[in-house]
Chains A and B, each alone.
Chain A
């Protein structure tokens, strides 16, 4: 078996992974850094982010304001030391990205422009028309090409972390093209694999968001934190789930129900003056409530509401929201200059993830995580829009440096033990290829999505969540009887889909069990049978550990600070 050695191994080549690689490569030009990604980095899902990235830029803004907005947005579950660090580093990271060529949209005087975004008290979202994720990812990727010590392993699917002597020493990766498994040794491993939106049937996420990194850590005994907090973005296209960015509302778009009523202003949904720019969890709940009250508009993919941009005028739309217009016309059948866009809440982001501290370190020595895959926790129970791209940069950089530091001091691996693990993994994967069985990937995936939508949707209740816990456990069993048809070794995407499905089911179970045990409503976790936030009993992070009979839960304290939990009203 091929054994490859590097100082640092980064799994995932999106915003956080590339930023971590650049940070480490810059800090130590002699360090050899492996960037292992199951797709070419420019395909990473960071590319689809549209609205912007937040950092304090204007004179009428302050770090305290950004910090408080984030804490309040998180429904006071965010760790305040993390948030303080984040808001201070954010402007530096976005400036650095500008130095690297990111084409931020500009004001007339040449300074970087900012726009309003949900839950932010002032304009602090830096934007690049409405393609910020695309520009950020390509800037980072192109910048990473400068460093000869970043070695890329493209289209390599990491199937297992290699753990020996209680520490991580590398990964076993399946070469998608060749079909062989290789051992990539690294003194530290950073997971930057993103979230798991594909677990849900209607999602803004692309095909590759299958919670791989979360599952990798989970299987090695690392806790997944706050998994119950799954963010529904209020404005996704019905059917495809394609994202219509919050920036459309930031530039002044209105949400209207079937009666043409701007329901966020006429009815009390807790967003107050902010109306369409309320935090995502509240706006999503408002839309669902409108639909349930019979004021939704019926369509072939279920009911939806209208996002009206017609009053913004052609100029504003063409200049600031060109991609929104393209997407609406291509996938939503509406030209926003003349017609409202059909939208409904769709799964978008996971606030939860691998439990890490502010350095991105997990409880397993040598294992780090940054970006959506991690729960640091910056976003608590609900993320504010435009914070996550900045999060990828701030914590990608910090984690890259922290992991590099650890790698320098780490002792070497027991090569024989690691090789043995990798060879066992290779045998397991080979056994999966073209194996006989009664279950079909697409069918299991559909059933997984259906139960997650029912039990872990925008509104939850105990009975539905318990049902989902039960169903995901069943799916875990049925996965063992998976039947595959593709026996080829070269670019076998069916095998990859099967591995991804296994990851999705494992993480889905953690989500369901975490949700079923949080007996309050907080942020994105909204229960009809426990509508109030209960700080006395539930102001903690949920930890989920993998167990034979299903996830085992534990608690972790929230790091409080200057901002005292108060009622979350806007």
Chain B
């Protein structure tokens, strides 16, 4: 197999030793069919064992390996090295506090995810004896795409609003909340729409569409957020008409 060398400029940060993130350069012999992750693993295994990065499935489904590659959010197990030139800059995901090297703080995201109540809400739990719900393929289609989120957070790294408004729920969380709102089995739309109008408001989204551009699973969170805006308004208006009362 033919071999080629590429220069990797990798962000390093060890809170025990470094006052601030710095960059370190590595020369890596790369194979033509490698993804960016393969090069990072080569660096860790053969050149510098102190490099820390998250990865697991290497087939673009676990969402661990999101990083900035040449300034763009990338799922490093999915993006081919062949698409990049001889100099590759790898940095931790934008807009997240940095824990170590290429590892970022995820607790903020998990709080936002929990806040949208990402589970089926029902007045009365369905009994096991009633069997499965009937859900037609058309009903499934209404939310199917939004359920593909692997929580890789590339969308958060791309979103200009996330960069500037800490309370904003963010693309993935809103898309997952919207996914449940659109699921025919769910009865929690009003609760979630209140959350969508609340502190992390969906209306902070200015429809830059960056999230959908970078999403590796084609979830299209921008569509979800903007559909959610519409639904949130209708829910608010409906509140005046029904006995619930608007909020």
Q: Do A and B bind each other?
A: yes
Name the interface residues of A393-426: CB closer than 8 Å to any CB of B: none
| Shortest CB distance B126–A (Å) | 5
Name the interface residues of B77-123: CB closer than 8 Å to any CB of A: 78, 99-101, 103, 106, 110, 113-114, 118-120
In the complex, per-residue mask of A414-446: 1 if CB is within 8 Å of any chain B CB, else 0: 000000000000000000000000000110000
Please judge, given known A-B contacts A490-B15, A490-B99, whether A106 and B140 are in contact too, CB under 8 Å: yes
Please judge, given known A-B contacts A47-B61, A106-B137, whether A441 and B106 are in contact too, CB under 8 Å: no
| Inter-subunit contact B59/A490 (CB<8 Å) | no
CA separation between A144 and B164, bound complex, in Å?
Answer: 31
B236 within 8 A of A: no
Name the interface residues of A88-127: CB closer than 8 Å to any CB of B: 92, 95-96, 98-101, 103-112
| Inter-subunit contact B58/A99 (CB<8 Å) | no
Q: Which of B52, B103, B128, B139 has the most CB of A within 10 A?
A: B52
CA separation between A13 and B136, bound complex, in Å?
Answer: 31
CA separation between A184 and B56, bound complex, in Å?
Answer: 26
B25 within 8 A of A: no
A135 within 8 A of B: yes
| Shortest CB distance B177–A (Å) | 11
Q: Which of A98, A138, A208 contacts B132 (CB 8 A)?
A: A98
| Shortest CB distance B15–A (Å) | 5
Stretch at the interface among A37-45, A289-297, A513-521: A37-45
| Inter-subunit contact B133/A98 (CB<8 Å) | yes
| Inter-subunit contact A95/B49 (CB<8 Å) | no
CA separation between A30 and B139, bound complex, in Å?
Answer: 37
A494 within 8 A of B: yes
B50 within 8 A of A: yes
Q: Which chain B residues lie closer than 8 Å to A70 at the CB level?
A: none
Q: Which chain A residues lie closer than 8 Å to B114 at the CB level?
A: 145
Please judge, given known A-B contacts A39-B64, A47-B61, A98-B132, whether A484 and B49 are in contact too, CB under 8 Å: yes
Q: Which chain B residues lie closer than 8 Å to A250 at the CB level?
A: none
Q: Which chain A residues lie closer than 8 Å to B63 at the CB level?
A: 42-43
Please judge, given known A-B contacts A206-B58, A484-B49, whether A490 and B14 are in contact too, CB under 8 Å: yes
Residue of B nearest to A107 (CB): B137
Residue of A nearest to B114 (CB): A145
Q: What's the A-B contact tally at a CB cutoff of 8 Å?
A: 153
A339 within 8 A of B: no
Name the interface residues of A486-511: CB closer than 8 Å to any CB of B: 486, 488-494
Q: Which chain A residues lie closer than 8 Å to B128 at the CB level?
A: 92, 95-96, 99
| Shortest CB distance B127–A (Å) | 9
B72 within 8 A of A: no
Q: Which chain B residues lie closer than 8 Å to A206 at the CB level?
A: 56-59, 62
Residue of A nearest to B101 (CB): A491
B191 within 8 A of A: no
| Shortest CB distance B2–A (Å) | 11
| Inter-subunit contact B57/A143 (CB<8 Å) | no
| Inter-subunit contact A48/B50 (CB<8 Å) | no
B220 within 8 A of A: no
Q: Which chain A residues lie closer than 8 Å to B61 at the CB level?
A: 47-48, 131, 134, 323
Q: Which of B55, B100, B106, B147 contacts A488 (CB 8 A)?
A: B100
CA separation between A112 and B148, bound complex, in Å?
Answer: 19
Please judge, given known A-B contacts A101-B120, A145-B119, A488-B50, whether A40 and B106 are in contact too, CB under 8 Å: yes
| Inter-subunit contact A330/B14 (CB<8 Å) | no
Q: Which chain B residues lie closer than 8 Å to A333 at the CB level?
A: 33
CA separation between A101 and B147, bound complex, in Å?
Answer: 10
B6 within 8 A of A: no
| Shortest CB distance B11–A (Å) | 14
In the complex, per-residue mask of A221-249: 1 if CB is within 8 Å of any chain B CB, else 0: 00000000000000000011011000000
CA separation between A494 and B119, bound complex, in Å?
Answer: 36
Please judge, given known A-B contacts A101-B183, A103-B147, A242-B59, whether A491 and B119 are in contact too, CB under 8 Å: no
| Inter-subunit contact B147/A441 (CB<8 Å) | no
Q: Which of B44, B57, B106 contacts A48 (CB 8 A)?
A: B57
B150 within 8 A of A: yes
| Shortest CB distance A299–B (Å) | 11
Q: Which chain B residues lie closer than 8 Å to A108 at the CB level?
A: 136-137
| Inter-subunit contact A145/B103 (CB<8 Å) | no
Q: Which chain A residues lie closer than 8 Å to B17 at the CB level?
A: 488
Name the interface residues of B141-190: CB closer than 8 Å to any CB of A: 143-144, 147-151, 176, 180, 183, 185-186
Q: Which of B56, B58, B63 has the most CB of A within 10 A?
A: B56
Residue of B nearest to A96 (CB): B128
B247 within 8 A of A: no
CA separation between A39 and B53, bound complex, in Å?
Answer: 12
Please judge, given known A-B contacts A40-B106, A47-B61, whether A106 and B135 are in contact too, CB under 8 Å: yes
Residue of A nearest to B143 (CB): A103
| Inter-subunit contact A43/B64 (CB<8 Å) | yes
CA separation between A358 and B140, bound complex, in Å?
Answer: 36
| Inter-subunit contact A489/B56 (CB<8 Å) | no
CA separation between A490 and B147, bound complex, in Å?
Answer: 33
| Shortest CB distance B187–A (Å) | 12
Please judge, given known A-B contacts A43-B63, A95-B128, A106-B140, whether A100 and B55 are in contact too, CB under 8 Å: no
Q: Which chain A residues lie closer than 8 Å to B62 at the CB level?
A: 42-45, 47-48, 206
Please judge, given known A-B contacts A206-B57, A488-B14, whether A142 and B119 are in contact too, CB under 8 Å: yes
Q: Give 11 A-B contacts (CB < 8 Å), ordered by A residue.
A: A39-B64, A40-B110, A92-B128, A101-B186, A103-B143, A105-B140, A110-B133, A146-B119, A206-B59, A239-B33, A494-B44
Chain B interface residues toward A at CB < 8 A: 1, 14-17, 33, 44-46, 48-50, 52-64, 78, 99-101, 103, 106, 110, 113-114, 118-120, 125-126, 128, 131-137, 139-140, 143-144, 147-151, 176, 180, 183, 185-186
Chain A interface residues toward B at CB < 8 A: 39-40, 42-45, 47-48, 92, 95-96, 98-101, 103-112, 131, 134-135, 138, 142-143, 145-146, 177, 206-208, 239-240, 242-243, 300, 323, 326-327, 330-331, 333, 441-442, 484-486, 488-494
Q: A47-B57, A104-B132, A327-B59 are in contact. List 20 more A-B contacts (CB 8 A).
A: A43-B63, A44-B62, A47-B62, A48-B61, A99-B126, A99-B132, A101-B120, A101-B183, A110-B135, A110-B136, A131-B148, A145-B114, A145-B118, A206-B57, A208-B56, A242-B58, A441-B45, A488-B17, A489-B16, A490-B14
For the complex of A and B, 10 pairs with smallest distance between CB atoms: A110-B134, A491-B100, A442-B45, A206-B56, A206-B57, A486-B50, A142-B118, A485-B49, A101-B120, A98-B132
